[in-house]
Amino acid sequence: MVHEAELTGILLGMHLISTEKQGNTTFAIRMDNQAAIRAFSSTMRKPGHHLARETVRIANRLNKQKSRNAYKLTIRWTAGHEGLEGNKLADKEAKRASEGLTTDKPLLPSYLRKSLLINSAAVKRAHNDMLMSNWAKTWRGTDRGRRYTHLEESTPSKKLLKSSSQPELSRVDASRIAQFRLGHAPINQYLKRIGRVDSARCLACGEDVETAEHFLLNCKNYAHKRWALAQCASKLRKPMTMQTVLGQPELALPLAKFIKATNRFKDTQPTV
């Protein structure tokens, strides 16, 4: 966890202070993580707070050793992107550590020379991340997942979900758009396939097969009603394709207005 790494940094700072041989009695540790700082004013019983307790133990020991010289320690919050030289140096060292550079064990405080306590929150998060990753891979392999992936490569993601959760979008409109994305919209090609109608012909223009693409992009009878949707796509500098119309969150509301303006589904209630 991030705040656990920050607490480790404070502990390392305390270790450096404890090895200081000069007569300095006033020290300040600056960091950009408020959660780690607040740990010292809590009961210190949450995951990762064992590092805070060890830091306090070292600070108390130093206070006893340097009490004659009015020893003082301050932990301060500092903005993470203020261009401070110390921040830049810390980021540089963190990058080196991520690349495999480690400190020799004898130079570390004794508490960090052994394995740290397991953080239950980190274990749960890792487990949940693994479950979500496995679910995403499984879902992308299904028929519905492949249809969605064709519209948005990052699916399953929050992008398409966000487009269906706009406050201006009614539940009926959101369900209808979801039907088009999943290939289950009640256009005649689909209805004939499931035996609900006898012909797949487009009732508006007479085209032999009314597909979702024909209805959304090509039917001449809906050209005027489609103009506003096309203008919105043009402002986004996107071509009028199925990927654009069904995959762009910004087009969800114009798409819903287009579908409603055609009156094509006025007698049917969408179910997903």
- The pLDDT value recorded for residue 260 is 93
* Residue 145 confidence class, pLDDT cut points 50, 70, 90: confident
Average of per-residue pLDDT values in the chain: 84
Tokens for 118? Answer: 């397991």
Query: In CATH, what is the architecture of 2-118?
Result: 2-Layer Sandwich (3.30)
Residue 226 has pLDDT above 90, yes or no: yes
Domains of the chain, by residue range, sit at: 2-118, 144-262
- The pLDDT value recorded for residue 81 is 61
The SS3 call for residue 75 is: strand
Residue 87 has pLDDT above 90, yes or no: no
Beta bridge partners of 73: 27
Separation CA 145–CA 176 (nearest Å): 18
Q: Which long-range contacts (CB under 8 A, 24 or more apart) does 158-164 make?
A: 159/249, 160/247, 160/249, 162/249, 163/248, 163/249, 163/250, 163/251, 163/252, 164/252
The SS3 call for residue 41 is: helix
- The pLDDT value recorded for residue 209 is 95
For 26-84, the pLDDT digits (tens) are: 888 888 888 888 888 888 888 888 888 988 888 888 877 765 566 788 888 887 666 67
Question: What per-residue string of b and e applies to 9-33 under the rule 16 or more CB within 10 Å gives b?
Answer: bbbbbbbebeeeeeeeeebebebbb
Sign of the C-alpha dihedral computed for residues 262, 169, 186 and 156 taken in this order: positive
The SS3 call for residue 209 is: coil
pTM for this predicted structure? 0.55
- The pLDDT value recorded for residue 271 is 53
CB-based contact 117:50 (threshold 8 Å): yes
Three-point CA angle 210, 216, 218, nearest 5°: 70
Separation CA 191–CA 118 (nearest Å): 56
Separation CA 120–CA 46 (nearest Å): 10
Percent of the residues in the chain that have a pLDDT greater than 90, as a whole number: 30
CB atoms within 10 A of CB 192: 16
CB-based contact 34:77 (threshold 8 Å): yes
